[in-house]
Amino acid sequence: MTNKEGFNNVVVALDWSPNTNHTGFYVAKFKGWYTDAGLKVKLLGAHETDYRGSYTEANGTNPDAGYPTPCGKVAAKNATFAMNSPEGVVGWNTPPPGVERPALKTVAAVLQAQTSAIVTLKSSGLERPAALDGKIYASYAARFEGRIVQQMIRNDGGKGDFQEQVPPMLGIWNTILSGAADATWVFT
């Protein structure tokens, strides 16, 4: 959509708070490359008010309660593009039975390799996925997340039995630091 200044408005819904994965977007904005191309670009990070409920409050623990995600922002036409993980895009495009939502298309890979990892504190002594049996995993409530972690534990010789808890997303790392959970998935 063209605004009154003659620029095309573009909103990019980032997958988290601004970090090194988003550097190219911010460099292009700072250097004026978007403006030079006739674009007025807004970069929407998880720290923004538009993401309230998803990443900061208890509402973020319930994906059925108006849970704004990057893909959801595009589907609702509140963003032009979304940056999301491969598993996030798969989850969006394979909704649970009875849930209707528009299919989204992947247009680019920003990174050459997956940048996420399951992490624990070094002091926990948990050095292998199988060691997560019987432990508490801090989850983002992504639909396939628990099953991915469970299969990872099984593939390492464990049973895949762990407790999944869903704290508010921007505080998820603090649940590890405080000892309220043993492991979580981070995006490096």
Mean pLDDT score across all residues of the chain:
85
- Does 63 score more than 80 pLDDT? no
pLDDT for the residue numbered 57: 45
113-124 pLDDT, tens digit each:
877 889 999 999
pLDDT for the residue numbered 66: 54
CB atoms within 10 A of CB 104: 17
- Cβ contact 46:17 at 8 Å: yes
Separation between Cα atoms, residue 151 and residue 87, nearest integer Å: 14
pLDDT for the residue numbered 188: 66
Kind plus residue range of the DSSP H or E element containing 138:
strand 136-138
157-173 pLDDT, tens digit each:
999 999 999 887 778 88
Share of the chain above pLDDT 70, in %: 88
pLDDT for the residue numbered 52: 61
For residues 53 and 85, the model is more confident at: 85
pLDDT for the residue numbered 140: 83
| 38 Cα distance to chain centroid | 29
- Does 111 score more than 90 pLDDT? no
- Does 2 score more than 70 pLDDT? no
Share of the chain above pLDDT 90, in %: 47
For residue 118, CA distances in Å to 50, 65, 155 come to: 28, 26, 14
For residue 33, CA distances in Å to 10, 27, 29, 44 come to: 13, 9, 6, 18
CB atoms within 10 A of CB 24: 11
For residues 160 and 109, the model is more confident at: 160
Length of the chain: 188
CB atoms within 10 A of CB 168: 17
Cα angle value 30/33/38 (rounded, 5°): 125
31 confidence band (pLDDT: 50, 70, 90): very high
